Amino acid sequence: MKQDLIVILDLGSTQNTVIAREIRSLGVYSEIHPHDITVEELKAFDNVKGVILNGGENRIVDGKPVEIRDEIYGLGIPMISIDYPQSKCGAKLDELPDHAALKKFIFETCKAETNWNMKNFIADQVELIRQQVGERKVLLALSGGVDSSVVAAMLIKAIGKQLVCVHVNHGLMRKNESESVVKVFRDELHANLIYVDASERFLGKLENVVDPEQKRKIIGGEFIRVFEEEARKLEGIDFLGQGTIYPDIIESGTKTAKMVKSHHNVGGLPEDLKFELVEPLKQLFKDEVRACGVELGLPYEMVYRQPFPGPGLGVRCLGAITRDRLEAVRESDAILREEFAKAGLDKKVWQYFTIVPDFKSVGMKNNARVFEYMVIIRAINTIDAMTASVEKVDWDVLETITSRILSEVENVNRVCYDMSPKPPATIEFE
């Protein structure tokens, strides 16, 4: 069933995602597109019921106001403008619309129907995947995280055995994670899974690399190189499946907003990429990805698994990656996860992990002065990964975690707890 669509044109607002999520919560599908979308591109969405011209604080770029193309006004599609002085449509608002005003525009003005749900979304995506892929094959990086697992389930539903899953151990995984991925997907779910141990290759490429953006691009680029090498061993691989979701795209920058950070899905691909991308989740927020996974029949514990960045522990071993600090991150993270599970926090906290910075502090061990690293604990809650609050962990739990890290993890003499929400901080440190 073709879902009705409300298009939000980004004219400099920082609230695009707020409006999109509000519309979707009403049961109507909404997508955000750049202000300079063409008439032809807009007409290609044959189910557009309305357009929101969403201006805001970033509506001036390089000294010039961003504007939509004049011919968009002539399409006869219901429109409303928000904080957009140049608007030529009749309905104008200076503040975000409240719930009642938004409902009135969507259902009374646009005559949209409440047909946005995961069942319909999956049906649409399955059809689009089949049209795109045909009889050819798709190569998918299967980390075992939420996004890649849901993409795998979606692709299996759409094309079955045409999907080839590759799990790359880049040496930056959490403790025992690769072993778990192989066990679950190959042994239990019987996926067509190829396991590649490329840990030494990745660590070699990352040696002495300090800049986090460079690290992300190296990791993303090497991933693609590994896939290309695996593809050469197979026949008919023309597509690369990716778990890109909407927050990845937003944080990697838009035409009216600067980049927060690049994501390996959208910012680290080499220019000579030989695959066409298949990205069925790229318009979903994180909570919607989980809902999609449940609808696809994935196990609850897999769908609600803690998020893990594509570059893995590489962005939690701050600065240039060293093996001793990488091991400290891995071991401290395992302790944190174990103690959170004991305290029941694994089902309450959205994401929690440890970080080891690239500097040392003085301390005392065995009555002697030591100069060792610190471990920083981060535990946050969020709905869509666009904003996040800090979890108020019980003091006794933090003391237990601290005691274990200081006694069990080598080269560490200090433990800190990060109290920074997003914004101004981001979820990850790099």
The 10s digit of each residue's pLDDT in 382-400 is 987 889 999 999 999 999 9
Q: What sign does the dihedral 236-237-238-244 (CA atoms) show?
A: positive
Quote the CA–CA distance of 51 and 47 in Å, as a whole number.
12
Q: Is it the case that residue 274 has pLDDT exceeding 80?
A: no
Residue 261's alpha-carbon distances to 99, 166, 167, 264, 266, in angstroms, are 32, 26, 25, 10, 10
Q: d(Cα 290, Cα 286) in Å, to the nearest integer?
A: 7
Per-residue model confidence as pLDDT tens digits over 110-121: 999 999 999 999
Report d(CA 34, CA 249) in Å as an integer. 12
Average pLDDT taken over every residue of the chain = 88
pLDDT over 70 at 272, yes or no: no
Q: pLDDT tens-digit profile of 24-62? A: 999 999 999 988 899 999 999 878 999 999 988 777 777
* pTM of structure: 0.72
**Structure-model confidence comparison of residues 294 and 143, the more confident one:** 294
- Preceding peptide of 423 cis, ω within 30°: yes
